[in-house]
Chains A and B, each alone.
Chain A
Amino acid sequence: MPFNRKDLLGLQDLDKKEIQTIIDSVKPFKSLFTRSIKKAPALVGKTVVNLFYEPSTRTRTSFEIAAKRLSADVVNIATATSSIVKGESLIDTGKTLEAMKADIIIIRHSLAGSPEILAKNLNASIINAGDGFHEHPTQGLLDLYTIYEKKKKIEGLKILLVGDILHSRVAKSNIWALTKMGAKLRVAGPPTLIPKNITDLGVEVFYDLDEAIKGVDVVNILRIQMERQQENLFPSVHEYVELYQVTSERLANAKPDVLIMHPGPMNRGIEISSSVADSTSAVINEQVTNGIAVRMAVLYLLAAARTKQGKKHVNTN
């Protein structure tokens, strides 16, 4: 199944076959990791730009390593040191990068829809590395891949997302991808952090974590941000811990082979207890490793689609 997209903006847009194509492409890249030479030549001569308007260590480094392992030339732009602080608009920054012949631009932005704006205005391929509360497609894919690797299937699995669903692009991308692949999704958290229309996406809502956790195959725990308390979305961290911290005791009601996931960075002792984070059920570090392989697959597929479209372009002229 070919992958014929210019951009990867979100998992809402992808159909089941496209998601499967990406997942199927990950394994060969991952097998590179255990070799002494971890590089493949797929992106030789291509320029990949990491354009990060929000601080990020994990995602930015992951994309950088992924692109380098594919032999691309990688440029990192952090907003604090760029002309963005001089007031340059997003579109102009994008056009400048395109004038420098960037082939793929990876963007992280605090405002939803920013990647879409770049995609509309540029010929370069755009990868969304997280935009506001909208989507974080490569995180969704790496979570999906990690589950797939461990459970050998997605269809029929009961998967629980815990925490701040309202402000989570990770939750959104997980929901789109996993429901399309046939998983049964649950979300748990206080009503103030769960959008009331979330059931329209085919997920089940729980306010009681102990109820939600019963019989699940996977628990994906979202980071809780301290500023949400100032917005009165919950009264105190103390109460949040009381009601929603994922602990070993609570996990006793899940399936015995439950997987524990977290997109990071973790607040140990808040949304997740240390004993859970360090338990054998946790695949949090494997998520990070898989993140690189998944991003390699995405970069490879987008570059291949570009080459194909480029050829088509030549043929029609």
Chain B
Amino acid sequence: MSIQIKNIRIIDPLTKTDKIGDIFIEKGKIVSKLSQVPSKVIDGKNKIAVPGLIDIHSHLREPGQEEKETIATGTRSACKGGITTVFCMPNTKPVTDNAPSVEYILMKSQKEGKVNVFPIGCITKNSQGEELAEIGILKKAGIVAVSDDGLPVNNSQIMRRALEYTKMFSIPVIAHCEDKELSKNGVMNAGKNSMILGLRGIPNQSEEIMVARDIMLSELTAGHLHIAHVSTAGSVELVRQAKKKGLSVTCETCPHYFSLTDDAVKTYDTNYKMNPPLRRQEDVDAIKEGLADGTIDCIATDHAPHTFEDKNKEFDLAPFGIIGFETLLSLVLNELVDKKVLSLQDAIAKMTINPAKIFSLKQRGTLSVGSIADITIIDTEYNYEYKKEDILSKSKNSPFIGRKFKGGAVITIVGGKIAWSKKDGIIN
């Protein structure tokens, strides 16, 4: 199959390209010209082609919690959101702390997935924070990073060893930064709203103390630390200083941390319950500043599906987490690009070339000739309402249902094949 995308605005952050032109795809790669007549021509007029989006933080729930999501449904949801590559966190059941689990995910993705799936392995055995997992074996099996996401590595010595040991594999340690004693029983941001609602709060410092510790351990070891889901002004500042020092520290934030504040929790709606929690406006502003000045490298979803039954409960009892694949791009466009926080080029970089560089993904995150043909086609004039019945994820736990968006993905090309289009839906 060969595809020609004609007269499209091409944005490729790696080469700082922003021009109108054609893209040629053959044998799954981007080529400079086709060797034959294209089997498919896409009219790119008034559309934008960007490298396929890479979401470095998600929970596909398979194996073990298939009632929430599967690799099949999760990757379809990603595909609809213009995402061509997802990293999946290892807190499956069983956890991904062994090679067969990694192989299972890769095999299932090959068979049933619609986008590229790269597993993340555990830092410690059973994510218990006590002994290092067999990271070398996991790496051979195909992981791109290690993380005990959902849990911090409490023991500083073990975190130190993880940062040291992973250096030989050149993979980052993704840290879920949380001082569990400070956040104990907390279910939302600590502040005026938690006081009024009578819910236990999670202070910003619960995140920041661990961000500070992990940065210091990265300094000690020269290991590559990647901080997951940064949500507070203090964390942004700590990472900014670490980068100034030249440490090997990178980080991500999620769309909800630049789109919502803890004011949204007011009705005890559990679709606003996630960890870290929604913070105050000052934090939202600081996240945007961190995105603008390059302190925050990536935007990831932390896609965390939960069933209606899981979420339709007392706020304290409902699990943390929201889905995010299908709203990532539109939230970035509307909250960051339209509001002039980031240029379109810089916004796209945080979901393409930046993750590709941080996690050493070869031939991805760019539209350069020779790279894998993962491409997202965006229509910035595509107006739509995000409706529950349109969600492809198995779970519908999103705080953005009912929101009207301007701009989103209209075609997703994975490995040189059209995997989804607004017109035809998922293409098999």
Contact = CB atoms under 8 A, between A and B. Distances in A.
Q: Which of A109, A112, A135 has the most CB of B within 10 A?
A: A112
B267 interface: yes
A91 B313 CA distance: 8
A304 interface: no
Nearest to A167: B198
A112 B197 contact: yes
A113 B199 contact: yes
Contact of A113 (B191, B268, B312): B268
A172 B192 contact: no
Contacts of B312: 91
Interface stretch (A55-63, A194-202, A206-214, A271-279): A194-202
A172 B315 CA distance: 19
A113 B196 contact: no
A131 interface: yes
Interface in A111-152: 111-114, 116-117, 131-135
B314 A109 contact: yes
A197 B316 contact: no
Contact of A112 (B192, B198, B267): B198
Given A131-B198, A134-B198, A135-B198, A90 B191 contact: no
A139 to B, nearest CB: 14
Interface string B311-326: 0111111000000000
Contacts of A133: 198-200
A197 B199 contact: no
B195 interface: yes
A198 B198 CA distance: 12
B198 A197 contact: no
Contacts of B315: 111-113
A90 B313 CA distance: 8
B246 to A, nearest CB: 37
Nearest to B309: A89
B198 A169 contact: yes
A12 interface: yes
Chain B interface, DSSP helix/strand/loop, else mixed: loop
A197 B268 CA distance: 19
Contacts of A201: 196
A116 B198 contact: no
B195 A113 contact: no
Given A111-B315, A112-B315, A117 B268 contact: yes
Interface string B174-215: 000000000000000001100111111000000000000000
Contacts, number: 50
B258 to A, nearest CB: 23
Interface string B257-285: 00000000001100000000000000000
Contacts of A113: 197-199, 268, 314-315
B196 A12 contact: yes
A135 B195 CA distance: 11
Interface string A17-28: 000000000000
A133 B195 CA distance: 8
A292 to B, nearest CB: 25
A162 B313 CA distance: 33
B192 A200 contact: yes
B191 A134 contact: no
B266 to A, nearest CB: 10
Contacts of B192: 197, 200
A213 B313 CA distance: 42
Contacts of B195: 195, 197-198
Interface in A170-197: 172, 195, 197
B318 to A, nearest CB: 10
Nearest to B198: A134
A285 B192 CA distance: 34
Contacts of A91: 312-313
Nearest to A53: B314
A111 B316 CA distance: 7
A90 B268 CA distance: 14
A200 B192 CA distance: 7
Nearest to B193: A197
A5 to B, nearest CB: 16
Interface in B405-424: none
Interface in A226-280: none
14 contacts: A90-B314, A112-B198, A112-B315, A113-B268, A113-B314, A113-B315, A116-B268, A133-B198, A133-B199, A134-B199, A169-B198, A197-B192, A198-B195, A201-B196
Interface of A: 12, 89-91, 109, 111-114, 116-117, 131-135, 169, 172, 195, 197-198, 200-201
Given A111-B315, A132-B198, 11 more contacts: A91-B312, A91-B313, A112-B199, A113-B197, A113-B199, A116-B268, A117-B314, A132-B199, A132-B316, A134-B197, A172-B198
Interface of B: 191-192, 195-200, 267-268, 312-317
